A and B are shown apart, each in its own frame.
Chain A
Amino acid sequence: MLVAELRGVTKRYGLVEALRGIDLSIAPGELLALLGPNGAGKTTAVRILLGLAAPTSGEATVFGHHPASRAARLRRGAVLQVARVPETLKVREHIELFSCYYPKPLPIAETIAAAGLGGIENRLFGDLSGGQKQRVLFALAICGNPDLLFLDEPTVGLDVESRRALWARIRGFVARGGSVLLTTHYLDEADALAQRVAVIDRGRIAAEGTPAEIKAQTRTSGLEDAFLAIMKENGQAPEEVLQ
C-alpha cells in the first residue's frame, strides 16, 4: 500500500499553472526527493499532499485518505517554510502543545533528544539560532510519532554543520521505518539522502528514478550535472536553472 500518492494532479492559480499533470507516489520506508528549480511546483505538490491546497484536477491521497482528513493528519508530520514562529514560547512548550494533538506521541524527552534540542528545551524560541529553530520545527514534525514526514526545503539557510546534523536525524527517521517526502534544491542533499529522486520542472515530472539511474540516464557522474542536463533538455538555459 502506498503511503502517499498524486494521480494526474494539476493545480492552477488564476492564470498560472503550477502543476500540469503530476503522478507521484511514496512507498513505505522510502525517502523521495523532489528536486527542481524555484517555482517548479515542489511546494505546491507538498501543499496538496498536506491538504493546504486542493488540486484543480486529479487526485491526492495520504494513507488512502483525503489529505486534509483527520486520519491523514494524525499519521504525518511536516516541516514547512514558515517566516515566523511564535517567539515567546519555550522549546518545550511548543513540543508539548504539538504532542497533545496526537493520540500516541513520542515521550517529550525522546522528541527533544531526537531533534537534538537537549539543553535548550527551556529557552524561548525567539532566543534560538537559525539551526536551533529549524530543529524545533523538525521536533514538531516528529513529536506525534508519524509514519510520514514532509520536509519542504528543511535546510535552507543552515550552515554545513547544521545541515549534516539534520541529515543524520532524517536518516534516523527513515531507519525506523518512516517515509519522507523531501523537497530541496540542494542536489547533494538529494544524493545523500534519497532512495528515489523525482525532478520537477515547470509543473511536470522531467525525470524519475534512483540517484544512480538519473545519473546513468543523462550520462553524468554527479546529480548536479544530471540535473543541468535534464533542465537543458527541457529547454532552460543553465544560468536560469542555477539561479
Chain B
Amino acid sequence: MNRVYWMEAKTELLKMARLKQYSIATVAFPLMFYCFFGLLMGSSYTQGSISLSRYALATYGAFGVMGAALYAFGAGVAVERGMGWLEVKRASPMPPAAYFVAKVVVALTFGALVVTLLFALGAIFGGVRMPLGQWLLMWSALVAGAIPFGAIGLAIGSFAGPNSAPGIVNMIYLPMGFLGGLWLPIELLPKVLQHLAPWLPSYHFGQIALAILHAPTQGSVWMHVEALAGFGLLFAGVAWIGQSHDREKVYG
C-alpha cells in the first residue's frame, strides 16, 4: 500500500517537473521578483530596521510557496477532473487519498525548491546573514505554508472548469500576493488596502515569515498562525464539499 503512495507521488513529481508552464513559472517568477525588488533595489533601502534584501526573502518566499501550491492544486485538479482523467483514476483501484497526497508532495517539493534557491540568492548576493536556527525556522515555516494554500487551491480546483481554472488561479494569486504585502512592504500600500489585508491569507503568511526575521510586523505572530490555519481549514472544508459533490454521483 505504501508503495502506491510512493509511486503516485514520484509520478506526479515527474509529471509536474516536465510541465514547463508549472515548473519554470513557479520557480522563476519569485526568484526574478526577488532579484529586482530584493537585490537590485533593496541593497540601500531599509524597511524598519532591516534591509530590503532580508525583508523580501520572507515575502517572496511566501509568494513562491503560495504559487507552487495554488497551481499544483487549483489548475492541476480542475484540468484532470474536467477532462475525465480523474474518473479513469477513480475507476481504478488507486486509493483515493493517494491522488491528493501526491499533489501535497509536489506543492511541498516545489515550495522547498523556491525557498532554498531564494535563500541562496539572499545569502550570496544580498549579504543576508542569520543564525542557522533562524534560517531553518524560516525555511520550515515557509514550506509548511504550502499546506493551507494547497487547500485553497484544491477548493478552486474542485469547482472551477478545466479551461477557466488556470485563469482563476492567476486572478487570485497575483492580487493576493500584492495586497497581502508580499510584493512591496504592506506599510507602503494605501491605508484602504492595508485595512483589507487581514482578510487575505497571504498577508498572514507574510507576517509569520517576517516575524521570524524580527522584522516589524502587525499584531502577534500567533494571531497570524491562527488566521492562516483558519483559512486553511475553511477552504479544506469547501474543497471537501466540492469533492463529495463529485462522489455523490457515485453514492448519492
Whether B93 contacts A73 by the Cβ 8 Å rule is yes
Q: What's the Cα separation between A81 and B91 when bound, in Å?
A: 12
Most chain B beta-carbon neighbours within 10 Å: one of A101, A124, A137, A140 = A101
Whether B252 contacts A54 by the Cβ 8 Å rule is yes
Q: Known contacts being A52-B90, A73-B92, A93-B11, is A84 close to B250, with CB within 8 Å?
A: no
B84 within 8 Å of A (CB atoms): yes
The smallest beta-carbon distance between B34 and chain A, in angstroms, is 27
Q: What's the Cα separation between A97 and B4 when bound, in Å?
A: 8
Main secondary structure of the interface of B (DSSP, over half): helix
The smallest beta-carbon distance between B26 and chain A, in angstroms, is 15
Contact of B83 among A83, A96, A124 (CB under 8 A): A83
Contact of B84 among A50, A81, A140 (CB under 8 A): A81
Whether A85 contacts B85 by the Cβ 8 Å rule is yes
- Stretch of B14-22, B141-149, B204-212, B230-238 on the interface side: B14-22
The smallest beta-carbon distance between A50 and chain B, in angstroms, is 4
Whether B91 contacts A50 by the Cβ 8 Å rule is yes
A120 within 8 Å of B (CB atoms): no
A interface residues, tally (CB under 8 Å) = 32
Closest to B11 in A: A97
A80 within 8 Å of B (CB atoms): yes
The smallest beta-carbon distance between B15 and chain A, in angstroms, is 5
A192 within 8 Å of B (CB atoms): no
Whether A53 contacts B14 by the Cβ 8 Å rule is no
B171 within 8 Å of A (CB atoms): no
Whether A80 contacts B15 by the Cβ 8 Å rule is no
Q: Known contacts being A54-B250, A68-B250, A89-B14, is A100 close to B7, with CB within 8 Å?
A: yes
B195 within 8 Å of A (CB atoms): no
Q: Known contacts being A93-B14, A98-B92, is A84 close to B79, with CB within 8 Å?
A: yes
The smallest beta-carbon distance between A124 and chain B, in angstroms, is 8
Main secondary structure of the interface of A (DSSP, over half): loop
A186 within 8 Å of B (CB atoms): no
A203 within 8 Å of B (CB atoms): no
Q: Known contacts being A53-B250, A54-B252, is A88 close to B19, with CB within 8 Å?
A: yes
The smallest beta-carbon distance between B210 and chain A, in angstroms, is 36
Most chain B beta-carbon neighbours within 10 Å: one of A52, A97, A144 = A97
The smallest beta-carbon distance between A12 and chain B, in angstroms, is 12
Whether B91 contacts A78 by the Cβ 8 Å rule is yes
Q: What's the Cα separation between A73 and B84 when bound, in Å?
A: 18
A82 within 8 Å of B (CB atoms): yes
Whether A80 contacts B94 by the Cβ 8 Å rule is no
Whether A88 contacts B15 by the Cβ 8 Å rule is yes
Q: What's the Cα separation between A118 and B249 when bound, in Å?
A: 38
Whether A101 contacts B83 by the Cβ 8 Å rule is no
Q: Known contacts being A52-B250, A73-B92, A74-B93, is A80 close to B7, with CB within 8 Å?
A: no
Chain A residues whose CB sits within 8 angstroms of the CB of B250 once the complex forms: 51-54, 68
Interface string of A28-55 (1 = CB under 8 A from B): 0000000000000000000000111110
Ranked 10 nearest A-B pairs via Cβ:
A88-B18, A84-B83, A82-B84, A83-B83, A73-B93, A50-B91, A101-B93, A100-B7, A97-B11, A78-B91
Extra inter-chain contacts (13) besides given A96-B11, A98-B92, CB under 8 Å: A51-B91, A52-B249, A68-B250, A78-B92, A80-B88, A82-B84, A83-B83, A84-B83, A84-B84, A89-B18, A93-B14, A97-B7, A97-B8
Pairs A–B under 8 Å by Cβ, sample size 14: A51-B91, A52-B91, A53-B249, A54-B249, A54-B251, A74-B93, A77-B92, A80-B88, A83-B84, A85-B85, A96-B7, A97-B7, A101-B94, A140-B92
**Contact residues of A with B, CB < 8 Å?**
50-54, 68, 70, 73-74, 77-78, 80-86, 88-89, 93, 96-98, 100-102, 124, 137, 140, 144, 150
